[in-house]
Every structure is written in C-alpha cells, then in structure tokens.
Amino acid sequence: MKGVVCLAALIAAGCSGASLIAATGPLRGEFVIVEVDGAAVGTPVSATVTFEDDGAVTGDAGCNRFGGSFQQDGGAITIGPLMSSRRACEPQVMDVERRILASLQASRSLTVGDDGAVLLSGDAPHRLRLQPVAR
C-alpha cells in the first residue's frame, strides 16, 4: 500500500515538474482543487477546499458545499466523514463532484510540492492535486 502511494506521488511529481516531499507541518488554508483522479478540474467546475486549525474541512465541490473533519499526522491524513448539500447540477459537474468527494474521503497520504501544491492520495484511482489560493 505504501509503495503504491509513493509510486503515485513520484509519477505525479514527474508529470508536473515539481518535486514533492512528505508533509511535516500542518495542512491549513484554502486550496483550489485542480486535479482529481489524474484529470484536470476545469470549466465549468470550480472547486475549493479549506483546512482549518480546529480540524474542520469545508469547501465547494463544484455544485454543492461540503463539510466535515480531518486529522493529520505528518504525511498521513484522514478526511471525513463529509456531508454536503444536495443541489442538482449538470451531469458533467455532478460527476466531477462525486469524484472529488470520494477522493477526499479516500485520502491517506499527503505530500507537498516545492511550489506549495498539495497531493492527497489514497487507493487507486483516488488522488487530488490542490493549489493554494493566493492571498
């Protein structure tokens, strides 16, 4: 299992050109979800996730808002259970949203790129790439 996660992180790093390291500090702040399960999240979907100091995780998965909790221990992370609103949107948006929520809850490891990007990985195919929101 660890080998698969490490391999996924190495593959992702090679594809993006950024080097990744295991997270040592706390994951905090707002991020744009730019990739889910190896596919870019693009128009018409705009998805974000915020990790709070108190262990809360909130965000917008493209159509619905979600919230829950997370725990992090270095490069290990667990997210969920998550709850979300139940609005209906276009099928393409709902598919991306379903994959985002599944990948968040399946996340088990956390790596951070030298560019600040975060890779959350779980059992295949679950993987999310997050880009910090500039303030």
Determine if residue 62 is left, alpha or beta; phi over 0 gives left, psi from -120 to 50 gives alpha, anything else beta.
left
What is the assigned CATH class of domain 2-132? Answer: mainly beta
Q: Which residue has the tokens 């667990």?
A: 78
Would you kindly state where each structural domain of the chain is located, as residue ranges? 2-132
For the full predicted model, state whether its pTM sits above 0.85. no
Q: Please, which pLDDT band fits residue 3 given cuts at 50, 70 and 90? A: very low
Query: pLDDT tens across 34-93, in order?
Result: 999 999 998 778 899 999 999 999 999 999 999 999 999 989 999 999 999 999 999 999
